[in-house]
Amino acid sequence: MLVIMKRKATETDMERVKEFLVDQDCDFHQSTGTDRIILGVVGDTSRIDCEQLKQISGVLDVYPIPHEDTEQIT
Boundaries of every domain in the chain = 2-63
Confidence of residue 73 (pLDDT cuts 50, 70, 90): low
Report pLDDT digits (tens) over 12-41.
Answer: 999 999 999 999 999 999 999 988 999 999
CATH 2.120.10.10 is right for the domain spanning 2-63: no
Answer whether 41's CB lies under 8 Å from 5's CB.
Answer: no
Give dist(CA 40, CA 48) in Å, integer.
Answer: 14
Cα separation values, 10 from 15, 39, 66, Å? 9, 14, 29
